[in-house]
């Protein structure tokens, strides 16, 4: 059985029957609906040409998220609102505040790109328009201007720059200088509420299953162990687009209420497995502001808007960036099954390359991240060929607890150096109980390099990764002594632009 896919577009309900569970949103737009304004580029969530904006009802408001349509499953937008670049000047719910504005006028995000010559061949432009539209709704419509740094961050998932960076960034900063447009959120919220009521009356389906409670998820998981578990599809989507894999049955966890919560306990933050990466990192940064740069370098914003922290952890990629960080923070994972729950250290979740200890009827429910303790000194380093929207060659996170100049405890997480995200136990042991000194840092670097034998691949050679690990430990030591970070991470984009 297949559900009827329903969403709001141009102020109207779009209802589509017989949409396969593994059909992507981009395929739906271009092939099924014939709306080819959204472009097909890389097909893997990197270039941003396919960017669209999804709107969800959250706390009596609309939350706008720019996502990559090429790897998002079509059914993931069920019950939500959707905008593409073709919709902005034609959606009756998106209109200028000044009623005298002529019909057919371009939306400010489109007009500002025209005014600043931010488009050349035009192929990437729809994606830029939609990233800017999400930025416009979250910043300009709330009475805030857009800084250059904010524009850089929000456009990090749109890689084509045939006009250069400056015209596009200039356009982003000038959006608020044009006559204001707004989404009629009151009407849209009513339409989404009616859509939700309509969906409740539908018969349950067995091709695309989207439970809303943890108990329901566990029941369905036990009954359908062959169903492909998905969250944001930032990895599974590539199985569809690149490996041409097909799934007869999909189990979507992103509507499970318990998995979408962030709960602050007295000694830790509990992050549900289906919490979007952007929200999960925001929770971590609130406790540890020094992680801000690292968080924004995790993929591009559309990927962070779609992907989930639990999906990244459960996927277990050796080059995933969240796991080294969580290992260094001494995070634990909670696994749930019909038998109950069990908790284990995150690094103990993995048994081999993309393999873990979870039973077929178990799911990752939440990640428990301890609050920072007095004396914590933490740094997270990502080394990649490209500054934005790139996969790490090496990810190293070092966390020391210093007590009177002594290393009371050390936690080090490493990615890109082994078959699994790993805890550097030998380097930790070399530091534990030692005075924190340059000599101790040197011994830790040697232990770290001896502990891992990285592979060579397209991103980096084994020798390069080996050298980088040692260099990052030395950088960590220098920063602990107050040496300012002078890397590209901290250069001001205003100066570069």
The structural domains of the chain, with segments of one domain joined by +, span 1-202, 210-372, 375-497
Instruction: Report the range out of 117-121, 206-210, 232-236, 262-266 with the highest average pLDDT.
Output: 262-266
Q: Are 210 and 21 in contact (CB under 8 A)?
A: no
Percent of the chain topping pLDDT 70: 96
In the three-class reduction of DSSP (H, G, I as helix; E, B as strand; rest coil), residue 427 is classed as helix
For residues 2 and 487, the model is more confident at 2
Cα dihedral 309, 310, 311, 317 sign: positive
Cβ–Cβ < 8 Å for 247, 21: yes
Q: In the 3-class helix/strand/coil scheme, how is 230-292 assigned residue by residue?
A: ECCCCCHHHHHHCCCCCCCCEEECCCCHHHHCEEECCCEEEEECCCEHHHHHHHHHHHCHHHH
Coil/strand/helix, residue 403: strand
435-467, pLDDT tens digit by residue?
999 999 999 999 999 999 999 998 899 999 999
pLDDT digits (tens, 9 = 90+) for 383-429: 998 888 889 999 999 999 999 899 999 999 999 999 999 999 999 99
pLDDT digits (tens, 9 = 90+) for 120-160: 888 999 999 999 999 999 999 999 999 999 999 999 999 88
DSSP 177-217: GSPPEEE-HHHHHHHHHHHHHHHHTSPP-SSEE--SSHHHH
Residue given tokens 């999906």 in the structure block: 311
Q: Return the CA Rg of the chain.
A: 23
Averaged confidence pLDDT in the chain:
93
- 159: which 2 tokens? 């890689």
**Residues contacting 239, CB < 8 A, separation 6+:** 245
pLDDT in tens, 6-34: 999 999 999 999 999 999 999 999 999 99
CATH architecture for the domain at 1-202: Roll (3.10)
With respect to CATH, is domain 375-497 assigned 3.30.390.50?
Answer: yes
pLDDT (0 to 100) of residue 163: 80
Give residue 160's pLDDT.
Answer: 80
Is the distance from CB of 409 to CB of 401 less than 8 angstroms? yes
Kindly report the backbone phi and psi dihedral angles of residue 418, in degrees, each rounded to the nearest multiple of 5, phi listed first.
-155, 180
- Residue 324 host element (H or E): helix 322-328
Instruction: Report the SS3 class of residue 112.
Output: helix
3-state secondary structure of 346: helix
Q: Whole-model pTM?
A: 0.94
Taking a C-beta distance cutoff of 8 angstroms, is the pair 75, 250 a contact? yes
DSSP letter at 176? G
Q: What is the 3-state secondary structure (H, E, C) of 149-171?
A: HHHHHHCCCCCCCCCCHHHHHHH
Q: Determine the Cα–Cα distance for residues 231 and 253; give it in Å rounded to an integer.
A: 6
Angle CA(290)–CA(294)–CA(300) in degrees, nearest 5? 140
Helix then strand then coil, % of the chain, to nearest 5: 35, 20, 40
Higher pLDDT pick, 490 / 47: 47
pLDDT of 203 over the 60 cut: no
Spatial contact of 262 and 269, defined as CB atoms under 8 Å apart = yes
Stretch (H or E) spanning 312: helix 309-315
Strands of the sheet with 376-383, listed across from one edge? 376-383, 394-403, 406-415, 422-423
486 pLDDT band, cuts 50/70/90, is low
Q: In terms of pLDDT, which residue wins out, 197 or 6?
A: 6
Predicted pLDDT of residue 200: 63
Q: What is the average per-residue pLDDT within 173-183?
A: 95
Task: Please determine, for residue 375, whether its predicted confidence score (pLDDT) is greater than 90.
Answer: yes
Given a contact cutoff of 8 angstroms between Cβ atoms, the answer to whether 128 and 155 are in contact is: yes
Q: How far apart are CA 343 and CA 392, in angstroms?
A: 28
Specify the pLDDT at position 493. Answer: 47
* Cβ–Cβ < 8 Å for 256, 336: no
Q: Is the pLDDT of residue 488 over 90?
A: no
292 torsion bin: left (phi>0), alpha (psi -120 to 50), beta (else): alpha
The reported pLDDT for the residue numbered 56 is: 96
CATH class of 210-372: alpha beta
For residue 65, the model assigns a pLDDT of: 98
pLDDT at 71 over 90: yes
For residue 334, CA distances in Å to 45, 344, 346, 364, 366 come to: 29, 7, 9, 6, 5
Mean pLDDT, rounded, for 85-94: 94
User: Nearest 5°: phi and psi at 235?
Assistant: -115, -45
- Tokens representing residue 468 in the block: 């980088």
Which pLDDT band holds residue 491 (cuts at 50, 70, 90)?
low
Q: What's the pLDDT tens digit per position in 302-358?
A: 999 999 999 999 999 998 999 999 999 999 999 999 999 999 999 999 999 999 999
Top-confidence range, 72-76, 95-99, 456-460: 72-76
């Amino acid at each position: 059985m297949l559900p009827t896919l329903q969403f709001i577009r141009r102020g109207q309900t779009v209802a589509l029957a017989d949409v396969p569970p593994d059909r992507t949103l981009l395929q739906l737009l271009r092939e099924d609906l014939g709306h080819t304004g959204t472009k097909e580029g890389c097909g893997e969530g990197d270039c941003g040409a396919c960017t669209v904006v999804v709107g969800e009802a959250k706390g009596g408001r609309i939350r706008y998220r720019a996502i990559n349509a090429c790897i998002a499953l079509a059914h993931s937008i069920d019950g939500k609102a959707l905008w593409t670049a073709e919709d902005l000047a034609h959606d009756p719910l998106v209109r200028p505040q000044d009623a005298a504005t002529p019909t057919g006028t371009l939306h400010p995000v489109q007009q500002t790109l025209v005014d600043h010559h931010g488009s050349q061949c035009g192929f990437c432009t729809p994606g830029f328009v939609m990233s800017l539209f999400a930025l416009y709704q979250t910043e300009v419509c709330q009475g805030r201007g857009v800084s250059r740094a904010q524009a850089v961050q929000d456009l990090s998932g749109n890689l084509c720059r045939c006009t250069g960076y400056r015209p596009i960034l200039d356009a982003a900063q000038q959006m608020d200088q044009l006559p204001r447009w707004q989404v009629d959120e009151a009407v849209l919220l009513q339409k989404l509420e009616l859509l939700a009521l309509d969906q409740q009356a539908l018969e349950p389906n067995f091709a695309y299953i989207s439970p809303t409670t943890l108990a329901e998820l566990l029941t369905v998981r036990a009954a359908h162990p062959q169903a492909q578990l998905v969250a944001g599809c930032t990895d599974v989507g590539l199985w569809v687009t690149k490996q041409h894999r097909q799934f007869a049955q999909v189990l979507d966890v992103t509507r499970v209420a318990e998995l979408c919560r962030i709960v602050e306990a007295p000694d830790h933050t509990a992050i549900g497995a289906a919490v979007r990466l952007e929200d999960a990192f925001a929770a971590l940064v609130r406790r540890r502001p020094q992680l801000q740069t690292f968080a924004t370098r995790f993929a591009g914003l559309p990927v962070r808007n779609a992907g989930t922290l639990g999906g990244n952890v459960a996927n277990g990629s050796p080059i995933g960036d969240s796991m080294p960080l969580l290992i260094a923070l001494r995070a634990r994972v909670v696994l749930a099954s019909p038998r109950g729950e069990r908790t284990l250290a995150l690094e103990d979740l993995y048994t081999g390359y993309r393999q873990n200890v979870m039973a077929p009827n178990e799911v990752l429910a939440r990640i428990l991240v301890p609050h920072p303790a007095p004396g914590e000194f933490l740094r997270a380093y990502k080394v990649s060929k490209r500054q934005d929207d790139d996969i790490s060659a090496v990810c190293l996170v070092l966390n020391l607890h210093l007590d009177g100049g002594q290393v009371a405890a050390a936690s080090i997480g490493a990615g890109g150096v082994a078959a699994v995200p790993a805890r550097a136990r030998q380097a930790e042991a070399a530091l534990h109980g030692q005075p924190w000194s340059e000599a101790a840092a040197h011994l830790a670097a040697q232990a770290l390099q001896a502990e891992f034998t990285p592979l060579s691949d397209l991103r980096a050679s084994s020798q390069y990764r080996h050298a980088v690990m040692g260099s990052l430990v030395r950088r960590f030591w220098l920063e602990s002594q107050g040496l300012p970070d002078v890397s590209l991470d901290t250069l001001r984009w205003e100066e570069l632009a």
